[in-house]
Structure 1
């Protein structure tokens, strides 16, 4: 028997309700120019549903928000306890409220409700809490304003010749073009650092903007919560007046008012960190090499902004003929110890300057010593460090080695003995020699070795020879002089002053018999006391005898 085949009918399935995401996606596609069919396909809905969306003929439940599907876990505590606390102190955080519930109701485990409480507090603050501060977008004209600030390179330890190099970065930025300048600053946010960094930045960009905005830098403001004009320091006012710069500062604690440079701080520092990672090392041979590295990073950072910089340069005012003084000044007299003290740091100077009155220009990274109007010496400035006798020391052996060679035993008890040695290896060798026998001989040997390293052969070859000779018990002053072909040091011959005859003192006495009136004088002290004092002439020719 033939059976009639009837096509099978699929089960009638109710379509899933439209979600808000589907409706929003469909309308976004339609606003973008897609056809109704294409937008419906992109949203995963039928064309019929798409027509209902466009005609606003959705089912009644489709436009209603989804109701709660489980009991409220915060019932009994939200309205009764937490809302009054938020009304009294809107700054309370969800974690604080959760810990408060744990203390009030320790029999309930509130930890699983942390996310629920966070959403509830966030919604309450959005509907009933205080309105946050509004940030207005700002735009500036070319050459109108520039921003500057100091920042610290955190998370990266830069070293110079293996030694940690603490420093800051001075960052200057033109608001319109976004062009930036940065340089290394030593010793903190001083006026000398601000003055040098600002003037270098103005010279690098080729002109002066109309206004300079800073935060409350201690180098520019006294920060006494007084009037703005009285808070500005006299030197900062003179610096800005020299360049005809109007100055301004942000309000206390409102960092975003200086945001044109605060936010680029992070961009620039991330570039420096990435460049250090790409370089493979954060150690540099010298400070000049580190500064050249920073200059290359900043040039790369400024490359996309060069066209706008050229446009902004037309609006910048020309630079003055002379720079403003970017240093402090002190008047000091060089001590007999051939040292001077600047800001609690003792520096050695060449002995020829002893007892001279010097003018010291104090930069953030160096000292210039002027005798009259001529620069007599320039020293690297030191900031802090290990203090001995209440002071830090910066001793250059080049200044003192000749004087120390004439007085080698001074090495034994010198106040800055540790600073006379080039590095830790020299110091350890000196400790071994000093504690190993004749201290005077050890001092003469070490001073002579320091002289050879400083003046003739270099410290490293001399130290290597000393360590090997000390290991084989062949270290001596004669061996050192022979190895480096050094003529033996002969001290000045002792001066011999012949003793004159004591009879010459007797010849100075003029007896009373020789005075007018005659008579013989007493011969002994008792008779002299009886007779009285014998008058002597004020000036009498010295008799030989």
Structure 2
């Protein structure tokens, strides 16, 4: 058409590489061929014509979150004559209606990260991986820290739920691992830690979190509750890390570990390999981090408890046994995620594994038979209805032995033999070996013979002979000195 302004139709068509006839046709009507065709009319009736505006649209307006498949089922219930084949048509029609009339949706704004500015913390559940410790399922979470600019990661296995103690321990391990602190720290508001807490407890956790960040000169920030994509720089990394752990477990061939230490080393190795791939960027960001303080800060919660006449104390719906000599004393207990450190004054008395209340809120027990066996030997019948009888057995073999003895012997005798078996394991230090022997005896359909087991695992200390040591007179040493002097003179 531009050429037509200066040339006749024949010349303009030739210059535009068109035929003469096409040139005359365009001169008469400049519309494209696609603009000249009329839209094809519907060739079959619209199955949704009578119900979409009258019934479907009101549902979409009243319940914007309603799924198309639910609307489809409802329409089939109201109109049985409708064909099931209209489902895709209905879904497309609903999608098109929402594009025009639907509510506004959240928009994710991608961020530019600066080195050394931000560190992210979050928790993710790993129970679905099927990890076991010595054959027992391990319900656990993973504390995950990440520097978004370089991709540095740190992960720490958490046995309980989200809590300040777990955050403080994992965060400090991460900061000392990377060798510096970012200017800001972002978390997900510790939603699980604050749930069901009163205002005073919530305020206390907030103060402790602020003090933790102040110790490392970080500005604490939190994303809005329930808005996971605000922590997207670590939420997406959860999936990649869990996929790497899952692959490593498949390559390993088993998800069972001998102990928790071995499993934590396994996680550390995976995270270490991922960090090695980002070594140059991590080194560059490390130069932009703030210096670490001179020491770590508190990563535990401290509670005062009193040991009762039951030989222990109850803390957070869990009963813990301690040596009976501590009955009546007030103890200072430091709660970590996986352990309790028990102090009397400034002296560390013992370390206990941390227990958790049962899912239904019922109390649980953490029992060490070494703490109560001496008292139980005086009252063996107390074992029959003992609240923590099942937790008293250090290994399943001892529980099997009690059940077999109760089934075949009077209750009093069965309790006495079971208590003596525990005492034998305590006195002779043969807990594992005795358990293996008990399994062998029970698998053979027999019951334990206490006399034979005592003979097998060493002599009774009461039967050992008394050894009297005669003291040597000091004059004999004088004689030795004199003899040594004569030899030197000679």
Q: Give the TM-score normalised by the residue count of structure 2.
A: 0.78
Q: 2: distance between equivalents of 1:84 and 1:105?
A: 16
Match of 2:229 among 222, 231, 256: 256
Match of 2:242 among 264, 269, 278: 269
Match of 1:458 among 430, 448, 451: 430
Distance 1:63 1:118, change over 3 A: farther
Q: 1: distance between equivalents of 2:251 and 2:129?
A: 13
| Partner in structure 2 of residue 146 of structure 1 | 119
Q: Does 1:107 align with 2:81?
A: yes
Q: 1: distance between equivalents of 2:146 and 2:113?
A: 13
Q: 2: distance between equivalents of 1:463 and 1:392?
A: 24
Verify the 8 A CA contact 2:146 2:152 in the aligned structure 1: yes
| Partner in structure 1 of residue 296 of structure 2 | 323
Verify the 8 A CA contact 1:167 1:187 in the aligned structure 2: yes
Q: 2: distance between equivalents of 1:475 and 1:86?
A: 72
| Partner in structure 2 of residue 516 of structure 1 | none
Verify the 8 A CA contact 1:191 1:219 in the aligned structure 2: no
Match of 1:75 among 40, 43, 49: 49
Q: Give the TM-score normalised by the residue count of structure 1.
A: 0.71
Match of 1:421 among 386, 393, 398: 393
| Partner in structure 2 of residue 365 of structure 1 | 338
Verify the 8 A CA contact 1:243 1:320 in the aligned structure 2: yes
- Show the 5 A alignment for 1:290-439: 290-385=263-358, 391-405=363-377, 407-439=379-411
- Show the 5 A alignment for 1:242-253: 242-253=215-226
Note the alpha carbon deviations across 1:202-235, whole angstroms, 9 max, x for none: 11111111111112214776799x9xx9797221
Q: 2: distance between equivalents of 1:327 and 1:306?
A: 32
Q: Give secondary structure in 2 for the equivalent of 1:70.
A: coil
| Partner in structure 2 of residue 10 of structure 1 | none
Give the deviation of 1:361 after TM superposition.
0.6
Give the deviation of 1:129 after TM superposition.
2.9
Q: Does 1:482 align with 2:448?
A: no
Which structure's CA Rg is the greater one? 1
- Between 1:355-364 and 1:455-464, the stretch displaced more is 455-464
Distance 1:177 1:411, change over 3 A: same
Q: Give secondary structure in 1 for the equivalent of 2:278.
A: helix
Note the alpha carbon deviations across 1:351-378, whole angstroms, 9 max, x for none: 3333332111111110001121121111
Aligned length: 435
List runs of 5+ in structure 2 lacking aligned partners.
1-16, 464-490
| Partner in structure 2 of residue 42 of structure 1 | none
List runs of 5+ in structure 1 lacking aligned partners.
1-46, 491-545
Q: 2: distance between equivalents of 1:421 and 1:383?
A: 18
Distance 1:430 1:488, change over 3 A: farther
Q: 1: distance between equivalents of 2:288 and 2:115?
A: 6
Q: Does 1:156 align with 2:168?
A: no
Distance 1:94 1:478, change over 3 A: closer
Q: 1: distance between equivalents of 2:252 and 2:448?
A: 43
Verify the 8 A CA contact 1:445 1:477 in the aligned structure 2: yes
Verify the 8 A CA contact 2:404 2:447 in the aligned structure 1: no
Distance 1:231 1:218, change over 3 A: farther
Match of 1:137 among 86, 106, 110: 110
Q: 1: distance between equivalents of 2:412 and 2:160?
A: 40
Q: 1: distance between equivalents of 2:38 and 2:263?
A: 61
Verify the 8 A CA contact 2:121 2:186 in the aligned structure 1: yes
Distance 1:296 1:468, change over 3 A: closer
Verify the 8 A CA contact 2:398 2:438 in the aligned structure 1: no
- Between 1:412-421 and 1:85-94, the stretch displaced more is 85-94
Q: 1: distance between equivalents of 2:410 and 2:233?
A: 67
Match of 1:94 among 68, 84, 96: 68
Distance 1:95 1:371, change over 3 A: same
Match of 2:98 among 125, 128, 141: 125
Give the deviation of 1:438 after TM superposition.
4.7
User: Aligned-residue CA RMSD in angstroms?
Assistant: 3.5
| Partner in structure 2 of residue 508 of structure 1 | none
Q: 2: distance between equivalents of 1:281 and 1:155?
A: 14
Q: 1: distance between equivalents of 2:54 and 2:380?
A: 86
Match of 1:169 among 142, 164, 180: 142
Note the alpha carbon deviations across 1:386-410, whole angstroms, 9 max, x for none: 999x632111122233444455454
